[in-house]
Amino acid sequence: MTTAAAAAGTWRLGDLTVNRLGYGAMRLTGNGMMGNSDGPPIDREHAVRLLLTAFEQGVDHVDTASFYFSPLRSANELINRALASWRGPAVTVVSKVGPGRAPSGEWLTMARPDELRGQVEENLRQLGRDCLDVVNLRRNGPDCDSVAEHFGALAELREAGLVRHLGLSNVRAEHVREAREIAPVVCVQNSFGLDWRRAEENGVLGLCAELGIAFVPFFAISGLHREAAAAAERDRRVAAVAAELDATPAQVRLAWTLHRGPHVLAIPGTVNPAHLAENLAAAALRLTDAQLALLDGPTG
């Protein structure tokens, strides 16, 4: 049976094949990545139903982390609860380690290499698993000198059977090359979107394509709006393309992301069932060369 998420095709995370349109679980907690509130957490049963709906529509790649929690919600525990009642195809769960967070929610310094095992084990407990499908080493900032020591510690956990595959997050191209000297890298997760293209400018997107590594952007819909002046003009172009396709601007932005290459995945997150349906429908959206040229054109 063809499902909505399958319309964008598949890619590989090591020996795991996933649909390119997945789901990001951060918003399920009601808190943003840096602890900024995105609104109250949704009801647990609602969250589980939302996840099950995503699975039913072909979402088989979920992004999460043990530090995705608020005073009342844990993304990992919600995913665990949904998967406990799921009887369909396997769902690949991708977590991340590196940043530390106290039970109170306070952000701590980057974990030391010897502390990563504890973070991996916390993910295992929350998700109810004996082995994590994929673990990304998330750096606090892209300007770190080396990932070797931390990635080496994760490679040891992979050899010990606690982790199946490894990836990187918030890194530069040289970090990808450095990590690959230690262990295989199956995915790279960096901020990337129509208005925020540093991953193209610094070569990470192209390097991933060259090496067959999945590139998994976060903030693909908003691009963080880091260049407000350009975003206003870009938004007008997005609206124009959306009108041509009878689509929403968010769907156009997701489609543009998926058009960057067959190795590019998307993990939009939402707590709204209607928005989930819109995001899934974007997998089937095809942009013409003229529409891509309009969206990619210079601004200002």
Model confidence at 1: pLDDT above 70: no
Q: CA–CA distance from 74 to each of 31, 153, 170, 174, 194 (Å)? A: 10, 26, 22, 33, 30
Q: Is the pLDDT of residue 64 over 80?
A: yes
Q: Which residue has the higher pLDDT, 109 or 155?
A: 155
Confirm whether 195 is domain-assigned.
no
Evaluate whether residue 211 is within a structural domain: no
Specify if 81 maps to a domain: yes
The answer to whether the predicted template modeling score (pTM) of the entire model surpasses 0.95 is: no
pLDDT band at 235 (very low <50, low <70, confident <90, very high): confident
Mean pLDDT within 51-76: 95
What does the pLDDT average to over 112-138? 97
Decide if 23 is catalytic: no
The pLDDT of residue 104 is 84
Q: How far apart are CA 173 and CA 204, in angstroms?
A: 5
The answer as to whether 227 is a domain residue is no
Instruction: Report yes or no on 66 lying in a domain.
Output: yes
Q: At which residue do the structure tokens 């260049």 appear?
A: 227
**Token pair listed for 72:** 């009342």
Per residue in 202-217, pLDDT tens? 889 999 999 999 999 9
**Residue 58 placed within a domain:** yes
Domain holding 54: CATH number? 3.20.20.100
**What mean pLDDT value characterizes the chain?**
90
Asked if the structure places residue 275 within a domain, the reply is no
Residue-level pLDDT at 68: 94
Residue 222: the pLDDT is: 65
Domain total of the chain: 1
Residue 225 has pLDDT above 90, yes or no: no
Full domain range(s) for residue 74: 16-189
pLDDT band at 223; cut points 50, 70, 90: very low
pLDDT at res. 227: 37
pLDDT, residue 164, reads: 98
228 domain-assigned: no
Q: pLDDT tens, 68-83?
A: 998 888 999 999 999 9
Catalytic residue among 23, 68, 196, 218: 68
Residue 88 has what pLDDT? 97
Q: What is the mean pLDDT of residues 181-194?
A: 95
CB atoms within 10 A of CB 210: 10
